[in-house]
């Protein structure tokens, strides 16, 4: 038997235990071990029932995702085929009871469904999250789940990928009993109840497969939803097709249909990209020079300076994580406005069923408004979220230095300013760091943690850990202008504007990037964020502009006209009272006029050029950032773009996307743009170097890791 699977006995009950930490993935050796155990159980006349359970923190979290790359590149031995093993379990002559704690995900749930019964601890979760990796269940999950849970729920679970909790799984019939107390003890009692009785095989249970009329509506609605919410992704559609196959084909034929769809997805760029994202999200928390055991600062209370949009959202993030917040603003009216907005946001969450009234009330009670810094004397951390201006920030940090206790973390939510200069206003730069939240801060997952020259390792490690506590993904970035995300966003939006000046329409630019998969086009994003934000920053940095360098013509002028975007009812677009965009011919005429005055030649611009210009502007700037060391790895940049800027997850992030296109091709296109549009398009030296060496950004990351 494999060392990953143990077989023991308690009188007439056999116990199969999987021990493959951390999450009991079905790595090579696990299916073999289960197969051997089932053979022995079948043969042993003294065994009347068997229990399969996970050792450690969980049941089985699915197939081993690390193996997928080997499968698609043909490097792996496939071991015991998983699908036939599941049939073998189902055909075992003794009832097999699956005892679930933690997560039975993907292949884990498929394994569980091949058992004759399932019992679970109250905190167990089950799910088919494969779509989140760009694939679909590959071992009859799409065939057995509708047989247990019904078609409607099976489609949802397979196409959306969200897990469900034990109580819902019980109601649906996915599990048969919830075990309070010790799981194995409860499972043993259950096993003795069912031993010797005829055991149900999931694959033979057809009573929940519905009628063609009802199913047609379910599948149509699921496809419509996938089209809207998972735009451009192939796996959700494949998952729906596979579940549909279960409703009109035999189990065996359904499995064959599933296999074909599974393989198509597995070998696609989309699944490779999404698996890159899965590991990337975990990778970004690893900082080479900050050991895992770095002592953390306990953050049990925080202060937030500024009750505006950002400050309010940040206060909500902490309150939602159960951390009390003192929220300060300079004047009562601003504080009242900020609190009213927070209250309204909570009320909306209750209305939409996201929070219960009680949860919202409790969170609201954690936010204590204040007009004075005195309330910050005892807090463990302060996040400053005042207006984006250096003088004001320095003044605030001077105050914080005066009132806050020694060791308190002093964080700035600046999105562009120099963290070291902010730190210079204090006597303790080692306690100062940037925490760049994204708007709306209580919703957006990204947190850029900005490392200043003097930021202490414990301060950095605490902020990275805190991001998880807040339900966010923290990415450590260096202290350059705009940090990583906004620094790259500059050239991206610059190109979008240049394209309009050169003859593309506003809607054509936005549509090309929306069709690429971005959540919104770049011009519409500007209107949403407020064009005045960039305008104000540009004024602050005007002295750094290189003389003669081409600058976008429109946004400063739109701002001078009071067209700040959605909030003023007009920007690149006009907006109705529901903030729906309306094309504005006036803007098109004005841009044409400004462009002709500036001598910008008008021409036809293709959607392909629009996407390439904007996306490769991201890639080129990303390569510079990487080379300069302001991002640790290319995958860090990807995670930033996926979580903060609406980059499509199935393309893996800008740097990964460039790898999939092929860096030589990307470089060639960038050189073309350089020829036509000048030195703003000078290729990043790192990009040139990687192409010369025949390497990718992923190779760069590997080398970087090996060196650290
Ligand atoms: N394979 C390999 N490694 C995995 C893994 C997996 N399935 N799941 C987790 N890990 C690693 C992870 O990279 C991390 O490593 C460590 O375990 C702890 O994870 C045939 C085709 C289970 C809810 O999609 O959702 O089955 O960074 O930090 O927050 O149809 O991991 O420490 O080195 O996330 O407690 C379907 C994916 C596979 C589940 C635990 N299954 N995993 O969360 O810890 S496809 C999934 C998760 C499949 C079949 C198909 C979560 C978790 P390191 P963690 P966590």
Q: What percent of the residues of the chain are helix, what percent strand, and what percent coil, each to the nearest 5?
A: 55, 10, 35
User: Measured from the CA of 286, which atom of ligand 1 is nearest?
Assistant: 27
pLDDT of residue 49: 98
Ligand 1 atom at shortest distance from the alpha carbon of 283: 27
Which two three-digit tokens encode residue 169?
A: 């799984």
Ligand 1 centre from 30 Cα, in Å? 15
Q: Are 438 and 313 in contact (CB under 8 A)?
A: no
Which residue has the CA at smallest separation from atom 10 of ligand 1?
23
**Nearest residue by C-alpha to atom 55 in ligand 1:** 23
Judge whether residue 238 has pLDDT over 80: yes
- At 599 the three-state DSSP class reads coil
Using CA positions, which residue lies closest to atom 42 of ligand 1?
Answer: 61
pLDDT digits (tens, 9 = 90+) for 376-419: 999 999 999 998 889 999 999 999 999 999 999 999 999 989 99
536 falls in which pLDDT band (50, 70, 90)? confident
Over residues 4-27, the mean pLDDT reads 97
Q: In this structure, what DSSP letter does residue 210 have?
A: -
For residue 284, give Cα distances in angstroms to 146, 256, 587, 653. 37, 38, 42, 14
The residue whose CA is least distant from atom 49 of ligand 1 is 107
Indicate which atom in ligand 1 lies nearest the CA of residue 63: 26
d(CA 477, CA 420): 13
Question: Would you say residue 707 has pLDDT above 70?
Answer: no
pLDDT at 483: 96
Residue ranges in 582-682 assigned as alpha helix (H):
585-597, 607-628, 634-644, 654-661, 663-677
- Which of 59, 61, 127, 264 has most ligand 1 atoms within 8 Å of CB, for mutation? 61
Its sign, for the CA torsion 331, 337, 338, 339, is positive
In this structure, the residue with its CA closest to atom 35 of ligand 1 is: 23
Cβ atoms of 119 and 99 closer than 8 Å: yes
Tell me the CA–centroid distance for residue 63 and ligand 1, in Å.
9
| Total-model pTM | 0.94
pLDDT of residue 181: 96
CA of 77 to the centre of ligand 1 (A): 21
Ligand 1: nearest atom to the Cα of 132: 24
Per-chain mean pLDDT for the chain = 95
Q: How far apart are CA 492 and CA 615, in angstroms?
A: 7
Phi, psi values for residue 5, rounded to 5°: -135, 130
Mutate which of 20, 23, 292 for ligand 1 pocket (most atoms within 8 A of beta carbon): 23
Q: Looking at the predicted structure, is the pLDDT value of residue 464 above 90?
A: yes
SS (H, E, C) 15-51: EEEECCCCCCCECCCHHHHHHHHHHHHHHCCCCCEEE
CA of 101 to the centre of ligand 1 (A): 15
CA dist 72 and 475 (Å) reads 29
289 alpha carbon – ligand 1 mean position (Å): 25
Q: 467 in helix, strand or coil? A: helix
Determine the Cα–Cα distance for residues 376 and 239; give it in Å rounded to an integer.
52
Structural contact between residues 202 and 90, judged by C-beta atoms closer than 8 angstroms = yes
Is the pLDDT at 1 greater than 70, yes or no? no
- Quote the ligand 1 centre to 113 CA distance (angstroms): 19
Q: CA–CA separation, 491 vs 270, rounded Å?
A: 26
Q: Can you list the alpha helix ranges (DSSP code H) found in 325-418?
A: 332-351, 357-366, 390-403
End-to-end C-alpha distance for the chain, whole angstroms: 38
The per-residue pLDDT for 76 is 64
Report which DSSP code applies to 405. Answer: P
Does position 542 have pLDDT exceeding 70, yes or no?
A: yes
What is the distance between the alpha carbons of residues 524 and 506, in angstroms, rounded to a whole number? 9
Contact 454, 595 (CB under 8 A): no
Strand, coil or helix: 302: strand
pLDDT confidence band for 703 (50 / 70 / 90): confident
Q: Which amino acids bring their CB within 6 angstroms of ligand 1?
A: 22-23, 25, 61-66, 82, 103, 105-107, 110, 129-130, 133, 135, 137-139, 141, 282
606: number of Cβ within 10 Å: 11
pLDDT at 235 (0 to 100) = 98
Residue from 34, 62, 113 to probe ligand 1 pocket by mutation (most atoms less than 8 Å from CB): 62
Task: Match 């394994």 to its residue by tokens.
Answer: 111
Q: Is residue 78 over pLDDT 80?
A: no
State the distance from the centre of ligand 1 to the C-alpha of 131, rounded, in angstroms. Answer: 14
The answer to whether 412 and 419 are in contact (CB under 8 A) is: yes
15-34 exposure pattern, b = at least 16 Cβ within 10 A, e = fewer: bbbbebeebbbbbbbbbbbb
Non-local (6+) Cβ contacts of 152 within 8 A are: 218
Q: What was the pLDDT predicted at 56? A: 97
pLDDT recorded at residue 543: 82
* Model confidence band, residue 549 (pLDDT cutoffs 50, 70, 90): confident
Strands 473-478 and 164-165: unpaired
- Which atom of ligand 1 sits closest to the CA of residue 64? 1
Residue located nearest, by CA, to atom 13 of ligand 1: 279
* The one catalytic residue among 90, 130, 399, 555: 130
C-alpha closest to that of 489 among 540, 451, 445, 448: 448
| Catalytic hit among 90, 110, 507, 555 | 110
Query: Beta strand pairing status for 325-328 and 367-370?
Result: parallel
Cα 284 to averaged position of ligand 1 atoms, centre (Å)? 16
Which ligand 1 atom sits closest to the C-alpha of 57? 35
Q: How many CB atoms lie within 10 A of CB 350?
A: 16
Please give the distance, rounded to the nearest whole angstrom, from the Cα atom of residue 236 to the centre of ligand 1: 20
Q: How far is the CA of 597 from the centre of ligand 1 (A)?
A: 57
Q: What is the pLDDT of residue 544?
A: 80
Radius of gyration of the chain, Cα coordinates, nearest whole angstrom: 28
Q: Tell me: pLDDT of 537 over 90.
A: no
Ligand 1 atom 40: the closest Cα is on which residue?
23
User: Hey, which residues does 26 pair with through a beta bridge?
Assistant: 63
Closest ligand 1 atom number to CA of residue 137: 30
How do beta strands 103-105 and 125-127 pair? parallel
Q: Is the pLDDT of residue 668 over 80?
A: yes
DSSP state of 365: H
Burial (CB count <10 Å: 0-12, 13-18, 19+), residue 174: buried
90 is catalytic: no
Note the pLDDT tens digit of each residue in 86-95.
999 999 999 9
Check whether 154 has a pLDDT greater than 90: yes
Q: Which neighbouring-strand residues pair with 13?
A: 10, 49
| Across 87-101, 180-194, 361-375, 524-538, least confident range | 524-538
State how far the Cα of 134 lies from the Cα of 266, in Å rounded to an integer: 7
Catalytic residue list contains 391: no
For the record, the structure tokens of 88 come out as 């073998």
Atom number in ligand 1 closest to CA 66: 2
For ligand 1, atom 43, which residue shows the shortest CA distance?
23
What is the pLDDT, as a whole number, of residue 541? 77
pLDDT exceeding 90 applies to what percent of the chain? 92
């Amino acid at each position: 038997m494999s060392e990953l699977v143990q077989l023991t006995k308690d009188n007439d009950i056999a116990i199969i235990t999987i021990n493959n930490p951390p999450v009991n993935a079905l790595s090579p050796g696990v299916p073999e071990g289960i197969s051997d155990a089932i053979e022995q159980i079948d043969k042993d006349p003294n065994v009347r029932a068997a229990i399969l359970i996970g050792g450690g923190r969980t049941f089985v979290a699915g197939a081993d995702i690390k193996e997928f790359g080997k499968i698609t590149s043909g490097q792996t031995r496939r071991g015991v085929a998983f699908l036939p093993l599941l049939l073998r379990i189902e055909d075992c002559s003794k009832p097999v009871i699956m005892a679930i704690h933690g997560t039975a995900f993907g292949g884990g749930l498929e394994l569980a469904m091949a058992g004759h019964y399932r019992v679970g601890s109250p905190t167990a979760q089950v799910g088919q999250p494969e779509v989140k990796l760009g694939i679909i269940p590959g071992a009859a999950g799409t065939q057995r789940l509708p047989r247990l849970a019904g078609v409607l729920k099976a489609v949802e679970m397979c196409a959306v990928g969200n897990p469900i909790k034990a109580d819902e799984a019980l109601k649906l019939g996915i599990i048969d009993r919830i075990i309070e107390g010790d799981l194995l003890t409860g499972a043993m009692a259950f096993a003795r109840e069912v031993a010797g009785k005829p055991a149900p095989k999931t694959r033979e249970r057809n009573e929940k497969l519905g009628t063609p009329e009802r199913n047609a509506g379910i599948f149509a609605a699921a496809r419509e939803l996938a089209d809207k919410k998972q735009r451009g992704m192939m796996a959700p559609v494949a998952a729906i097709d596979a579940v549909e196959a279960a409703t009109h084909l035999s189990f065996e034929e359904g499995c064959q249909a599933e296999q074909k769809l599974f393989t198509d997805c597995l070998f696609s760029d989309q699944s490779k990209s999404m698996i890159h994202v899965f590991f990337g999200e975990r990778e970004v928390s690893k900082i080479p020079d900050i050991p895992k055991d770095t002592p953390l600062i306990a953050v049990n209370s925080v202060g937030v300076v500024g009750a505006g949009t950002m400050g309010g959202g940040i206060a909500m993030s902490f309150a939602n994580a159960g951390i009390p917040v003192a929220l300060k603003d300079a004047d009562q009216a601003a504080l009242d406005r900020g609190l009213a907005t927070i209250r309204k946001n909570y009320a909306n969450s209750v209305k939409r069923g996201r929070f219960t009234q009680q949860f919202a009330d409790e969170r609201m009670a954690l936010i204590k408004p204040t007009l004075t810094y005195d309330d910050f004397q005892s807090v463990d951390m302060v996040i400053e979220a005042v207006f984006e201006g250096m003088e004001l920030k320095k003044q605030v940090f001077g105050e914080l230095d005066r009132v806050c206790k020694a060791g308190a973390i002093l964080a700035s939510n600046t999105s562009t300013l120099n963290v070291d200069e902010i730190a210079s206003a204090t006597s303790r730069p080692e306690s100062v760091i940037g925490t760049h939240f994204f708007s709306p801060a209580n919703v957006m997952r990204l947190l850029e943690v900005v490392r200043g020259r003097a930021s202490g390792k414990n301060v950095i490690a605490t902020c990275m850990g805190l991001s998880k506590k807040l339900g966010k993904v923290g990415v450590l970035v260096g202290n350059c202008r705009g940090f990583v995300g906004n620094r790259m966003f500059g050239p991206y939006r610059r190109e979008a504007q240049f394209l309009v000046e050169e003859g593309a329409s506003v809607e054509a630019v936005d549509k090309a990037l929306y069709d690429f998969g971005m959540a919104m086009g770049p011009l519409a994003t500007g209107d949403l964020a407020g064009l005045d934000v960039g305008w104000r920053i540009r004024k602050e940095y005007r002295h750094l502009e290189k003389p003669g360098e081409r600058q976008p013509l429109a946004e400063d002028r739109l701002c001078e006209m009071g067209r700040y975007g959605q909030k003023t009812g007009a920007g690149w677009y006009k907006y109705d009272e529901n903030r729906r965009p309306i094309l504005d011919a006036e803007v098109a005429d004005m841009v044409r006029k400004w462009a002709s005055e500036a001598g910008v030649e008008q021409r036809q611009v293709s959607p392909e050029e629009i996407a390439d210009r904007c996306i490769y502007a991201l890639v080129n700037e990303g390569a510079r950032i990487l080379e300069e060391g302001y991002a640790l790895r290319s995958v860090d940049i990807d995670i930033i773009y996926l979580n903060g800027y609406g980059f499509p997850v199935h393309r893996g992030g800008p740097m990964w996307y460039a790898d999939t296109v092929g860096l030589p091709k990307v470089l060639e296109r960038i050189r073309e743009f350089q020829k036509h549009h000048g030195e703003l398009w000078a290729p990043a030296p790192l990009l040139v170097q990687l192409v010369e060496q025949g390497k990718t950004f992923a190779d760069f990351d590997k080398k970087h890791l090996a060196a650290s």
